[in-house]
């Protein structure tokens, strides 16, 4: 509806208090509330959603179609479609995205690299998050 594609369901959860050491590959949707020390990558060829909640911590690269971050990521981030940075997001690493939505309070320590669907550099689609005051 209104030009938005349906998001894949969250089928996997790394709960708060859980720590995973090693690389992780997933399909559909993954929510992280715990800690991951390793690279996180969505399977190619299908729509994917990765959520890093405000209590989560990731040390390693992150790659998915739609990435929502409200926690801490130390490593490069690749959002093949949309990157949403919520107010408590903190990224230490380079960020590559097709389109980005960044809320006030989110922090990035690294380079921003927009890419087109064909992989070439182009001007990004920017969405400004409204201040709800």
**pLDDT (tens digit, 9 = 90+) per residue, 87-132?**
999 999 999 999 999 999 999 999 999 987 665 555 555 566 665 5
Chain segment 19-47, per-residue pLDDT in tens: 999 999 999 999 999 999 999 999 987 89
Asked if residue 1 belongs to a domain, the reply is: no
What does the alpha-carbon distance between residue 33 and residue 38 come to, in Å, rounded to a whole number?
15
Distance CA 60, CA 38 (A): 5
The reply to whether 67 falls in a domain is: yes
Domain extent at residue 81: 10-128
pTM value is: 0.85
pLDDT score for 116: 74
DSSP category for residue 53: -
Per-residue confidence (pLDDT) for residue 118, from 0 to 100: 64
> What does the alpha-carbon distance between residue 129 and residue 101 come to, in Å, rounded to a whole number?
7
Residue 2 forms part of a structural domain: no
Q: Is residue 1 very low, low, confident or very high in pLDDT (cuts 50, 70, 90)? A: very low
Is residue 133 assigned to a domain? no
Count of domains observed in the chain:
1
């Amino acid at each position: 509806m209104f030009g938005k594609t349906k998001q894949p369901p969250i089928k996997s959860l790394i709960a708060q208090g859980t720590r995973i050491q090693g690389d992780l590959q997933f399909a559909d949707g993954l929510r992280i509330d715990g800690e991951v020390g390793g690279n996180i990558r969505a399977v190619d060829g299908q729509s994917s959603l990765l959520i890093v909640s405000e209590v989560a911590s990731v040390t390693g690269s992150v790659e998915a179609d739609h990435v929502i971050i409200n926690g801490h990521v130390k490593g490069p981030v690749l959002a093949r479609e949309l990157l949403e940075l919520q107010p408590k997001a903190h990224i230490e690493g380079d960020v590559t995205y097709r389109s980005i939505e960044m809320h006030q309070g989110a922090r990035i320590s690294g380079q921003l690299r927009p890419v087109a669907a064909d992989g070439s550099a182009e001007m990004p689609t920017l969405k400004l998050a409204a201040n709800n005051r």
